Amino acid sequence: MKCVWLTGLPCSGKTTIANELNKVLTNSVVLDGDDLRSTYLGKNVGFSPQDRHDHILRMGEIAKLFVKTGTYAICSFISPEAKARDMVRELFNDGDFIEIHVSASKDTCAERDVKGMWKRAMNGDITHFTGFDAPYEEPINPEYTAFTELSTIKECVDDIIDLLKPYHKPACMFIGRWNGIFHNGHDYIIRKKLDEGKSVTLAIRDVAPDKNNPWSAKQVKEMIDYRFKDYPDVKTIIIPDLESVEYGRGVGYEVNEIKVDKYIAGISGTECRKMILEGDDDWKQFVPDEVVEYLTDYNKRFT
């Protein structure tokens, strides 16, 4: 998922685009500047350059949390300072931050202003108003510019959806218990799909821990997330302990078995767990380096 960051002058159309985009995207949330300033997240934040700078970075961190959970973060903030927007971009993996400049002239923005803020700024009733007596630094190279004076809101939203399409890769899902230890056999089949240019979702069955398998589904998910922490195309979810997996009416899914060599097929999670319990470090040759690192403090984590 991505952070779609809408920046522009007050009343340029950011919130309207954000709300319409939210209707189209699945699993998305809107973070709107006006709404958040009325909460405890931004209730006492002023409008000085430093206040604005700090506020935008905080909102960027919130957006990052949503993206990490697999949610589109649609952010509607004036965010007038280019430096602050660039710092927010740096919070995300490459390609996960989409900057949208919502562009409209000051006169048009003033005409659209139902709250009368532009008029109050012009009358001197309020100060530090972006676009009037406070600067707005336009993006130099945004991923997209929505010219809301020339295009309808629907046209802008359609263009943004088209912009996001290349990020939607064909996906495959692997379902399993994952044996309580993520080993090189698992790693092999997942990397094979990544090498084919696909994204991968790992569905972890919620099997209760027992003597032979001391890891809970939550702990297995933590382990796999750590292994693929630098792989945005790998997602993990926990699902019920399924009785069966079925699909019908030829709706487009494929069920495939990945062929592997004897070495990969011979790796056993059960044997790896047994080695760990017996203090035999040979298990380390059968799992990815990241999992070795993760499980180094095994006794602290799971006993």
For the annotated catalytic residues, the residue numbers are 79
Backbone angles phi and psi of 105, in degrees to 5: -70, 160
Beta-bridge partner residues of 229? none
Output the CA angle 45-46-51, nearest 5 degrees: 80
Q: In angstroms, rounded to a whole number, what is the distance separating the alpha carbons of residues 164 and 187?
A: 28
**Cα Rg, the chain, nearest whole Å:** 25
